[in-house]
Amino acid sequence: MNTYPMYIGGKPVHTGRSLDIVDPALDEPFARVAAAGPEQVEAAVAAARAAFPHWAASPHASRAALLHALAGALEAHMGELMELVTRETGKPLQGLNQVGAGMELGGAIAWTRVTAGLSLEPELIQDNARARVEVHRKPLGVVASITPWNWPLMIAIWHVIPALRAGNTVVLKPSEFTPVATARFVELANAILPPGVLNMVAGGGEVGAALTAHPGVDKIVFTGSTRTGKRIMEGAAASLKRITLELGGNDAGIVLPGIDVRAAAPRLFGAAFHNNGQTCACLKRLYVHDSQYEELSAELARLASRAKVGNGLEPGVELGPLQNRGQLDIVKALAADAHAQGGRFLSGGEARTGRGYFFDPAIVTGLSNGTRLVDEEQFGPILPVIRYADVEEAIRLANDNPNGLGGSVWSSDLARAVQVARRLECGTVWINEHGAVQPDAPFGGVKQSGIGVGFGRQGLEEFTSIQTVKIMKG
């Protein structure tokens, strides 16, 4: 069993302590990662602070070239990293609609290349005989990145690459459930980047808490649950650290009357069930008009019953296991409550016996707002389909949630769909699609789904401070 080191100051670090990383398809460890204590957190922050002045002063073109080289390293090791992602997350190598480990690596490479090409040129506010006023963007310092277990490598890229591009240095802490592919990525990166620019510490919540409360950290970027995000925000308050939080989502989709059910159903199913529903911006609540409710629900159930569930390393598998036993227990509890509340399961809804954290994909009808499966983020392969009578009711129900990450409207009438979409309380809204993000368009949540955005110029700006320069000419 391989043991992967942490990286601090450009050097591999073993501590004598390690995390056993479980393959969720087999319910047994397949790798180990060196575990950090308080002294490694201190050393990692110190290394990042020492590396910051030189990295921040390096030319933009130089930083961009190194990040492009890092994208090349990801490409060269794509097969190896895909297998590690599948072993630690359970997501198939290809997956439902090709959303699997291959897409995670492809996305990581694309985001690295696009972000490397971004720039933050000074903005000219005034230039006349009296004065010239410019707005400059400056790196913040040391960024602490804390990543989740559902898309561990791609989200690490989403955090790390814009931070580095803007001139910051980074201490990265991956989820204790899925640090393996990230550890390998950091190893590859440290063969390219100057020492101390990208450091990694591994461990549980105590390591994350030590990192986010550290006075030597200038910004925290976190993707994960709203509950944890609130704790991070509390810890950041003592020193007024900058924060970017991409938190929980309970994304609603509204299907307007008159859609082509057969054409729309596979896209709706893919939006809800890719990566077993373990994506913040998955479709998690589907509101369907009376006129097509039964037909669409039955078609979704047919697709769920046909989906191939199994070990993600096996050919043709579309859905793997849940990533960890705790998440499987959450999905089981929500399914049990849905049964108790009168939900009708048209497909699936049971955990499989034997090895691994498998749950058969479920379509549930007969529920509405006020039940746990509708109100809470399930983060698993179980979708409530909710009946509505008029569009105003659907908009009200969709907005009746503390989360506001994404939402979607599905219709053959695009003008009508846009009208409805603009009234949804969410950071991103899609028309006839759900969850498709791209590296040049900002993405983030409103309400309790987060603070700040990622991606594109707006996401890059999150890793900078503004300095206004006023030059008097008289």
- Domains located in the chain, CATH noted: 2-247+449-472 (3.40.605.10), 252-438 (3.40.309.10)
> Hey, which bits of 307-355 come out as E strands?
344-347
Give the tens place of pLDDT for each residue, 139-174: 999 999 999 999 999 999 999 999 999 999 999 999
Q: Which pLDDT does position 223 carry in this prediction?
A: 97
What is the distance between the alpha carbons of residues 149 and 280, in angstroms, rounded to a whole number? 11
Indicate which residues carry an active-site annotation. Answer: 246, 280
Decide if 157 contacts 108 (C-beta within 8 A).
yes
- What does each C-alpha distance from 343 to 176, 268, 366, 373, 384 come to in angstroms? 35, 20, 5, 9, 9
Q: Which pLDDT does position 1 carry in this prediction?
A: 87
Q: Is the entire prediction scored with pTM above 0.95?
A: yes
**Which residues, given as ranges, of the chain have pLDDT below 50?**
none
Average pLDDT taken over every residue of the chain: 97
What is the distance between the alpha carbons of residues 295 and 26, in angstroms, rounded to a whole number? 37
